[in-house]
């Protein structure tokens, strides 16, 4: 197969009869079998049913039936998305940790759009971790920089796309878990606005902060996936009634968009190579957008701290049974993070919710009165070597996790759409990434700027995966 296939180009090739869904699915399964022993991106590879679905999609194409651009496209899903017929371990050692009769809405919508399901993808245990380590299913190694973390918690989702195992994936994001691995692996990842993509049929970590969203090789591909999975779902009480955005709406360029660059918080404590990458990325944004200005944003520390209380309480409640009955099965860092929530009072939980809501309203009103979009780095340093990420005690690792995710977590508390876009590499070849953030439900503007930068630079065409 071509290492440069995108969903868009592969869909066009299949529609023209140059390649079939069955051929591309076989190619990808062969590639996974040959290389994933090093990467560990999959937990369950569903070969038989993937080939069966690919044959059906091939026959439909031969009969002149192609309902949309995702027809026959091989995708895979984070192992907290319920896929009928497959176990859902949520990255734990328990094969069927998450048991429900409800199919993940995002998976169902992509299947109904004609996508082929390859299987379920590795993740940080219970979605608690920004590096992608997993003692039960193997640490997800970075396909772009072996020996380094792939990011987490949607580690397998980003690695599978980066390694050329799947054309796209779905991940979840509670504090950066789509954007962090996208940044580490050099792919595109979108955390949509809170409530834009249904969370029904996906294991929760935090009811207040969870988001599901797409990862793919290009901004255009992410837009195609978002169009398929966004929109109201009566099975999710937080689901918005806003219609899904049209993927072709992002092709109009970024002219007219006012872009802000924070002068505080999001540019503090950056590694030198991230600072250099951000400066170059801002020069690109200046070429494609209406104007770029430096602004001082309200300090998001209150939002982050309040959100941490919410996540701690809600995750401990959701996973109380394993904490109570089988704590020895959990990795020490995961167990330590969950146990914190058992000691937070209802008073503190409600106070955190109140503080978060007020601070979020103030942040959104102040920032977006001046600009249409914010740009900032996704990660404060490039992907860490495994020896560095895991060094020290459990407390040392938890503190390192908080530093690594400090630039993404505010936008979960704010519920804003945030895109991680590759923007070059460090001198030693580790991917760098730009975060583009917009108003609630203005994914189109976020993706318009990302698409304009993509066209201007070729950032998402960095060559075949290294693996």
Active site residues: 78, 153, 177
Q: Could you give the CA distance from residue 178 to residue 365 in angstroms, rounded to a whole number?
A: 26
What letter would DSSP give residue 149?
B
Distance linking the first and last C-alpha atoms of the chain: 16
Phi then psi for residue 129, to 5 deg, are 160, 135
Angstrom CA distances, 233 to 101, 201, 241, 293, stand at 16, 11, 8, 38
Cis ω on the peptide bond leading into residue 404 (within 30° of 0)?
Answer: no
Backbone phi, psi, residue 37, to 5°: -60, -20
CA distance 389 to 401: 8
Q: List, as one string, the DSSP characters of 7-23.
A: HHHHHHHHHTTSS-HHH
Phi and psi (nearest 5°) for 67?
A: -70, -20
Q: What angle do helix axes 21-39 and 47-62 make, rounded to 10 degrees?
A: 160
Q: What is the dihedral of CA 30, 41, 189, 354, to 10 degrees?
A: 150
> Residue 308: which region, alpha, beta or left (left: phi > 0; alpha: psi -120 to 50)?
alpha
């Amino acid at each position: 197969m071509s290492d440069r296939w995108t969903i868009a180009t592969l869909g066009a090739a299949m529609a023209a009869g140059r390649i079939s869904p069955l051929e591309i699915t076989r190619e990808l399964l062969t590639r996974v079998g040959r290389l994933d022993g090093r990467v560990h991106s999959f937990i369950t590879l569903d070969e038989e049913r993937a080939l069966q679905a690919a044959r059906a999609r091939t026959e439909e194409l031969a009969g002149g039936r192609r309902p949309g651009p995702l027809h026959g496209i091989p995708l895979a899903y984070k192992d907290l998305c319920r896929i009928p017929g497959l176990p859902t371990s949520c990255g734990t050692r328990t094969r069927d940790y998450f048991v429900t009769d409800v199919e993940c809405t995002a998976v169902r919508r992509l299947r109904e759009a004609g996508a082929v399901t390859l299987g379920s993808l590795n993740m940080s245990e219970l979605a608690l971790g920004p590096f992608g380590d997993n003692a039960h299913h193997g640490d997800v190694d970075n396909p772009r920089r072996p020996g380094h973390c792939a990011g987490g918690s949607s580690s397998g989702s980003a690695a599978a796309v980066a390694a050329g195992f799947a054309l796209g994936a779905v991940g979840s994001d509670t504090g950066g878990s789509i954007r962090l691995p996208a940044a580490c692996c050099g792919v595109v990842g979108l955390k949509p606005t809170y409530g834009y993509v249904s969370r029904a049929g996906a294991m929760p970590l935090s009811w207040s902060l969870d988001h599901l969203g797409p990862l793919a090789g290009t901004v255009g591909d992410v837009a195609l996936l978002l169009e398929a999975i966004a929109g109201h779902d009566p099975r999710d009480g937080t689901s918005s009634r806003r219609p899904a955005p049209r993927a072709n709406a992002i092709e109009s360029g970024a002219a007219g968009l006012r872009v802000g660059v924070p002068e505080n918080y999001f540019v503090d404590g950056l590694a030198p190579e991230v600072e250099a990458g951000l400066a170059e990325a801002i020069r690109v944004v200046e070429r494609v957008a209406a104007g770029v200005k430096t602004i001082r944003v309200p300090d998001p520390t209150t939002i982050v701290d309040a959100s941490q209380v919410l996540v701690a309480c809600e995750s401990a409640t959701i996973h109380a049974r394993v904490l109570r009955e089988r704590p020895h099965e959990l990795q020490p860092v995961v167990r330590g993070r969950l146990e914190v929530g058992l000691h937070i009072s209802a008073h503190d939980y409600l106070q955190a919710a109140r503080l978060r809501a007020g601070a979020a309203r103030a942040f959104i009103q102040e920032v977006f009165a001046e600009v249409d979009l914010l740009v900032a780095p996704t990660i404060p340093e490039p992907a860490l070597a495994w020896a560095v990420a895991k060094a020290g005690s459990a407390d040392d690792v938890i503190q390192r996790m908080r530093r690594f995710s400090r630039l993404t977590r505010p936008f979960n508390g704010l519920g804003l759409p945030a895109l991680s876009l590759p923007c070059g590499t460090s001198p030693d070849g580790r991917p760098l990434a730009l975060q583009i953030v917009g108003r609630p439900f203005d994914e189109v503007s976020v993706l318009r700027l990302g698409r304009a930068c993509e066209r201007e630079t070729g950032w998402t065409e960095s060559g075949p995966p290294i693996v």
